[in-house]
Amino acid sequence: MNEQPNNPLHGITLENLLNKLVDHYGFEELGRQIDIRCFNWEPSIKSSLKFLRKNQWARTKVEDLYICTDFEEAE
């Protein structure tokens, strides 16, 4: 097993990451924080995943937001 102790995203799929961000922020707030069309115009998980898989720059922004988000504060 190849472990990556310094990678906070290890073992988290892009779909799970995106679902968690949408549950926490909603698409409207995600679109404010990361201004990309897939969050601001007819947003859906499916279209967002398609876009993020093709555009590394956008995926990096989403991953950075995920890492900086304190999900426990909403609970």
In a domain, 9, yes or no: no
Could you please report the per-residue DSSP string of 7-37? -TTTT--HHHHHHHHHHHHHHHHHHHHS--H
What's the total number of domains in the chain? 1
In a domain, 2, yes or no: no
Give the integer Cα–Cα distance in Å for 75 and 60: 26
What is the value of pTM for the model shown?
A: 0.84
Report whether 61 contacts 34 (CB < 8 A).
Answer: yes
In a domain, 64, yes or no: yes
In a domain, 3, yes or no: no
The pLDDT of residue 7: 82
Give the integer Cα–Cα distance in Å for 59 and 57: 6
- Read off the pLDDT of residues 22-64 as tens digits, 9 standing for 90 and up: 999 999 999 999 999 999 999 999 999 999 999 999 999 999 9
